[in-house]
Chains A and B, each alone.
Chain A
Amino acid sequence: MTTLTHSSMLGRLPILIFVAWRNIWRNPVRSTLTISALASGLIMVILYASLLEGMSRQMVHFATDISTSHMQLHRQAFIDDQDLYATLPWSYMEKIKQDFPGLNISPRLYAAGLASSATTSTGVLIKAVDPKSEPEVTQMLQHVRHGKLDLGIADTTASGFTRYNLVIGAQLAKNMKVNPGDELVLVTQAADGSIGNALYRIAAVLKPLEPNFDRMGVLMSIKAYQQLMYLNEGFHELAIKVNELEQLEDIQAAVMNRMNQLTRAKPLDELGGQPVVRNWRQLSPAVADLLELSKSFVFIIGFIIISLASLGMLNTMLMAVHERTHEFGILLAIGMKRRWLLLMVLFESFFLALVSALVGSLIGLVINDYFEEYGIDFSQSMPDGYDWAGMIFEPIMKGHLLASDLFYACIMMIFITVLASLIPSWRIVRLKPAEVMR
């Protein structure tokens, strides 16, 4: 007779797994219902994660591609007080262009003023850009709703004065009741202290991109700005776009280092402060925080949905353990160790969760494909998209599912459901075979 004295767990795993797999199909209707509940929960989590990631991508798009770009260079006083005189010399821009040929850059200038149309006047924010280099750093100029994008010369008056074209925000155009082709007078305090004023022609109206610009924004060329403001020394802002977003922080540090070298070689005036390079997360901390928050949301909502769905699993396992008490007694009597039995029941939960994860992932991926392709269309009720947390979102909400989100959702579901089955499994640990077989 073979002498056998040891009984390690590892060698018994195949039989425990085999019996567990058979056990989950013992009551096919109940198992199918449990799998359906868990898979439905997983599908909801997948779609939620996908739509939230789609929104996150829109947020990043909003934070970078619309007007901010990946980085911006300013002087500290401009950041603190929008100081009109806190400009950086044009030579700084040339140095960056020279030292970092891989970067796309575009200068900007700002001022506040008063705009008057034939019927009304309102305060405006004047933003000057270089129409040639701006499209290399943002898509701001591509979002024209009415008219034709043109920031060049509109015409020359009889007295020989050059009139420039302007582009304005949609809400501002609506408030001032102006359209492309109409005239607009801008009045402001120029850099030399004089009252700067000029007549412009509205070339185009931009779609709503940023709530502030939409309500108050007036866009003009840098030449037009310099003519209005008598400010030729430099620029307020340099938008910088990198090719590899992963290298953003390294490039930021390198540009900052170069700026420090330049200021050390030739110090700037003290009032304007030192140059500062900030990346889009620092420029739009609310967006960066929202992105972080959205990741937490996926986890929290996913946890709640899957926990609710796993109540079905808890019920199934409670029923299964209750119904099979006598059988467990027999198994304990013939020499099965309690930990093997416990493991077998946990394997049953694991298999139910695994099958649910497979079914849920497959169905979730199919529905997600539709969301990624067509999205949820709100354009009937919100043709210009919707404004949420200070950002304008596209009217079609599209999904974008990350493989990592799908993986973590499945792992979370399997973990929670196996954890839930520990409660009924605890009964097995306390089972007394002599009592249950009476």
Chain B
Amino acid sequence: MALLTLKGIGKRYRQGELEVNALSDIDLEVKEGEFAALVGPSGSGKTTLLNIIGGLDASSEGTTHLNGIDISGLKEAQLSNFRLFQLGFVFQSYNLVPVLSALENVELVMVLQGRHKNESRQRAQHYLELVGLKNVMQRRPSALSGGQQQRVAVARALAAGPRLVLADEPTANLDSENATALLDIMHTLSHEEKTTFIFSTHDPRVMDRAERIITLQDGKIVSDELHEHEH
């Protein structure tokens, strides 16, 4: 059974006098544990699609089901709960709360979920160790490199135990070495934690790590292929 099902998703918005079709006729199914990349040129609708899947934006038409829940019909507070318990997010940059340490940033979502402080602390430490940041847990984001910050964001997304992690251009601001390291960590954890990852990118280095590549162009899916992973 698919974890995520999109049916007839369309997104239109007005830009002055013009009506822009950001997405149209998107049908997509993603199974549990998949490590899928949304690729395409800038303006192809990758971020818009991720926002609709994440409940950050509403579609103009169609339905989105995640884990059996129709998120198109959820109210604001229900959407917050949905994101808090079902989803993990990794954004392109400025992912972290600057006044909190790496450890506190990872703990934050779990504390908001209502987990016990000790449990949150242990899980946060565990996931920061998994992403290789055992020695910098107490540092604030300003004392971490861009790659380290993105790894903290990945640890935060996974520590909360989501069904699906959405990553919007997670490597866009990273150098080649950090980008591949981050993707390797995400891929490994996806398998170990059996967590589904969907990430948008137009970076060929990142595409190589994906198991499935969904290509968008002008707001439409133009190809959807399984990709043989090199590792």
Closest 4 CB pairs of A and B: A335-B84, A22-B99, A434-B57, A335-B83
Q: Does B178 belong to the interface (CB within 8 Å)? A: no
Q: Does A253 belong to the interface (CB within 8 Å)? A: no
Inter-chain contact B111/A437, CB cutoff 8 Å = no
Q: Does A330 belong to the interface (CB within 8 Å)? A: yes
Q: How many residues of A contact B (CB 8 A)?
A: 33
Besides the contacts A7-B80, A7-B113, A26-B98, what 12 more A-B pairs have beta carbons closer than 8 Å?
A: A5-B81, A7-B112, A15-B111, A15-B112, A327-B94, A327-B98, A330-B94, A333-B89, A333-B91, A334-B83, A334-B84, A338-B76
Q: Does A30 belong to the interface (CB within 8 Å)? A: no
- Distance (whole angstroms) from the CB of A259 to the closest CB of chain B: 71
User: If the complex has contacts A326-B94, A332-B80, A437-B91, are A12 and B111 also in contact, measured as CB distance less than 8 A?
Assistant: yes
User: If the complex has contacts A434-B51, A437-B91, are A335 and B112 also in contact, measured as CB distance less than 8 A?
Assistant: yes
B41-83 residues at the A interface, CB under 8 angstroms: 47, 51, 54, 56-57, 76-77, 80-81, 83
Would you mind naming 5 contact pairs between A and B with Cβ atoms under 8 Å apart?
A12-B112, A19-B100, A330-B94, A333-B54, A434-B57
Inter-chain contact A4/B85, CB cutoff 8 Å = yes
Chain A CB count within 10 A is highest, among B87, B95, B109, B112, for B112
Inter-chain contact B99/A335, CB cutoff 8 Å = no
User: If the complex has contacts A4-B114, A335-B80, are A26 and B109 also in contact, measured as CB distance less than 8 A?
Assistant: no
Cα–Cα distance between A334 and B57 once the two chains are bound (Å) = 14
Hey, which bits of chain B sit against chain A, CB under 8 A? 47, 51, 54, 56-57, 76-77, 80-81, 83-85, 87-89, 91, 94-100, 108-109, 111-115, 119, 156, 161
Inter-chain contact B80/A2, CB cutoff 8 Å = no
- Distance (whole angstroms) from the CB of B120 to the closest CB of chain A: 9
Inter-chain contact B91/A330, CB cutoff 8 Å = yes
Inter-chain contact A337/B80, CB cutoff 8 Å = yes
Cα–Cα distance between A437 and B47 once the two chains are bound (Å) = 10
Cα–Cα distance between A235 and B149 once the two chains are bound (Å) = 93
Chain A CB count within 10 A is highest, among B76, B80, B114, for B80
Q: Specify which chain A residues have a CB less than 8 angstroms from the CB of B111 in the assembled complex.
A: 12, 14-15
Q: Specify which chain B residues have a CB less than 8 angstroms from the CB of A432 in the assembled complex.
A: 57
Inter-chain contact B97/A19, CB cutoff 8 Å = yes
Cα–Cα distance between A437 and B168 once the two chains are bound (Å) = 11
Inter-chain contact A23/B83, CB cutoff 8 Å = no
Closest chain B residue to A20, Cβ basis = B99
Residue among B83, B96, B100, B112 making CB contact with A333, cutoff 8 Å: B83
- Distance (whole angstroms) from the CB of A376 to the closest CB of chain B: 45
Cα–Cα distance between A328 and B91 once the two chains are bound (Å) = 13
Residue among A25, A332, A335, A434 making CB contact with B81, cutoff 8 Å: A335
Inter-chain contact A335/B85, CB cutoff 8 Å = yes
Q: Does A11 belong to the interface (CB within 8 Å)? A: yes
Q: Does A119 belong to the interface (CB within 8 Å)? A: no
User: If the complex has contacts A335-B81, A434-B56, are A22 and B100 also in contact, measured as CB distance less than 8 A?
Assistant: yes
Closest chain A residue to B108, Cβ basis = A15
Inter-chain contact B113/A4, CB cutoff 8 Å = yes
Q: Does A300 belong to the interface (CB within 8 Å)? A: no
- Distance (whole angstroms) from the CB of B141 to the closest CB of chain A: 11
Cα–Cα distance between A4 and B100 once the two chains are bound (Å) = 24
Cα–Cα distance between A187 and B98 once the two chains are bound (Å) = 90
Residue among B47, B89, B99 making CB contact with A334, cutoff 8 Å: B89
- Distance (whole angstroms) from the CB of A339 to the closest CB of chain B: 8
Inter-chain contact A7/B99, CB cutoff 8 Å = no
- Distance (whole angstroms) from the CB of B164 to the closest CB of chain A: 13
- Distance (whole angstroms) from the CB of A4 to the closest CB of chain B: 5
Q: Specify which chain A residues have a CB less than 8 angstroms from the CB of B100 in the assembled complex.
A: 19, 22
Inter-chain contact A333/B81, CB cutoff 8 Å = no
Closest chain B residue to A326, Cβ basis = B94
Q: Specify which chain B residues have a CB less than 8 angstroms from the CB of A4 in the assembled complex.
A: 85, 113-115
Q: Does A194 belong to the interface (CB within 8 Å)? A: no
Cα–Cα distance between A327 and B108 once the two chains are bound (Å) = 14
